[in-house]
């Protein structure tokens, strides 16, 4: 019975390790708040907007992000972190690109790790200049 319990604990630890990236970027999260709908019931996520929730206790990075909601696929919130020039962390893990998410002079302005699959990249990609700004 003890061997079975030890095996179960080892398997659980392995699954937990594979499910989350080392830095916490890409870990799933659920925003604590959202933009209210006109009726006041539910959320009104906008397709081309980015939502950052700093100090998120669900994220090891402490930043939960909803990036450009896809109306067909729904929302895809995940943990992110700052990256690029002036960041203590530098670049992003494999399937993420360091992208300018918030422009301007606010405390939250700057570059964050965004899943490459959510970006329009390449010579004519709309998001390419935002990636280039973070190099």
**Segment 7-56, tens digit of pLDDT:** 444 444 444 444 444 689 999 999 999 888 888 888 888 888 899 999 99
pLDDT (0 to 100) of residue 30: 92
- Residue 18 within a domain: no
Q: What is this structure's pTM?
A: 0.77
- Residue 114 within a domain: yes
Looking at the structure of the chain, the number of domains it has is 1
pLDDT (0 to 100) of residue 20: 47
Tokens for 27, please give them: 């870990």
64 CB-contact burial (10 Å; exposed 0-12 / middle 13-18 / buried 19+)? buried
- Residue 71 within a domain: yes
Q: For 54-63, how does the pLDDT look when each residue is reduced to its tens digit (9 = 90+)?
A: 999 999 999 9
pLDDT (0 to 100) of residue 104: 86
Range of the domain at 124: 23-132
SS3 content of the chain, % helix, strand, coil (to 5): 20, 25, 55
- Residue 107 within a domain: yes
Angle value at C-alpha 76, between 98 and 22, nearest 5 degrees = 55
Report whether pLDDT(124) > 70.
yes
- Residue 34 within a domain: yes
- Residue 2 within a domain: no
């Amino acid at each position: 019975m003890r061997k079975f319990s030890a095996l179960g604990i080892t398997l659980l630890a392995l699954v937990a390790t594979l499910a989350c990236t080392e830095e916490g970027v890409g870990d799933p999260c659920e925003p604590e708040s959202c933009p209210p709908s006109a009726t006041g019931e539910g959320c009104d996520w906008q397709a081309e907007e980015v939502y950052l929730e700093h100090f998120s206790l669900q994220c090891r990075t402490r930043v939960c992000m909803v990036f450009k909601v896809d109306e067909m696929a729904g929302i895809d919130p995940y943990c992110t972190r700052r990256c690029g020039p002036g960041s203590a962390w530098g670049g992003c893990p494999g399937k993420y690109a360091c992208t300018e998410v918030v422009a301007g002079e606010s405390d939250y302005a700057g570059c964050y790790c965004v899943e490459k699959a959510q970006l329009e990249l390449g010579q004519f990609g709309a998001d390419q200049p935002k990636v280039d700004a973070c190099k």
